[in-house]
Structure 1
Amino acid sequence: MAVFRVYDIVWEAGGNAPRLPSEAQIACVDMGSIAAALSDTFGWLVADFKATVLAEISQEGS
């Protein structure tokens, strides 16, 4: 598990203009899970983004 700084987010808003962030911090299992985590958090699909790891989170008992 890690915390990612996600930036330059491009949302698939279907022509709508909702107020969605262009950057966010998100915790998820790996880089491949970022789009799903963003979608789950904000309710919109993501077309593109860039990300860097801010912190690794160790899980007790794993």
Structure 2
Amino acid sequence: MKIWDMRKKRCIHTYQGHTGRIDVLRFTPDGRWIVSGGADSSVKIWDLTAGKLLHDLAS
């Protein structure tokens, strides 16, 4: 998953974790976390401030 700065037109961070495609992506209202769900049957919670994976919920 790549986070882009659209004003500067460049990738500002790359997160690795899903082994397949990402099907759903949601930001928390405060913009600090992203929740992603993938074809690998996992849901991941990412901390954008720290730049790391917080939780991996695999089925």
TM-score tier (shorter): under 0.3
Greater Rg by CA: 1
TM-score (norm 1): 0.26
| More helix as a share of residues | 1
Query: Which protein, 1 or 2, shows the higher relative CO under an 8 Å CA cutoff with sep ≥ 6?
Result: 1
| More strand as a share of residues | 2
